[in-house]
Amino acid sequence: MDEIFKILACPVCKGNLEYNLEKKEILCMNCKRIYPIENGIPIMLEDKAKIK
């Protein structure tokens, strides 16, 4: 796993994130927001997140 994903925390709740390699998205384990990854760059913006 890329180091960048270990240091990121959810910008909304500071919760732990899980990187979904298959779907290329990042799920917050705490608030269930899903952040997209565009061109290999995680888009950690609240208004870009989907809520599961």
> Which residue ranges make up the site for Zn ion (CB under 5 A)?
10, 12-13, 15, 28, 30-31
- Measured between alpha carbons, how far is 8 from 44 in angstroms, rounded to an integer? 9
H/E stretch holding 7: helix 4-7
Min dist. Cβ of residue 23 to Zn ion (A): 17
Smaller CB separation from Zn ion, 31 or 37: 31
How big is the CA angle at 32 (ends 22 and 49), to the nearest 5 degrees?
A: 75
Min dist. Cβ of residue 1 to Zn ion (A): 19
Min dist. Cβ of residue 47 to Zn ion (A): 14
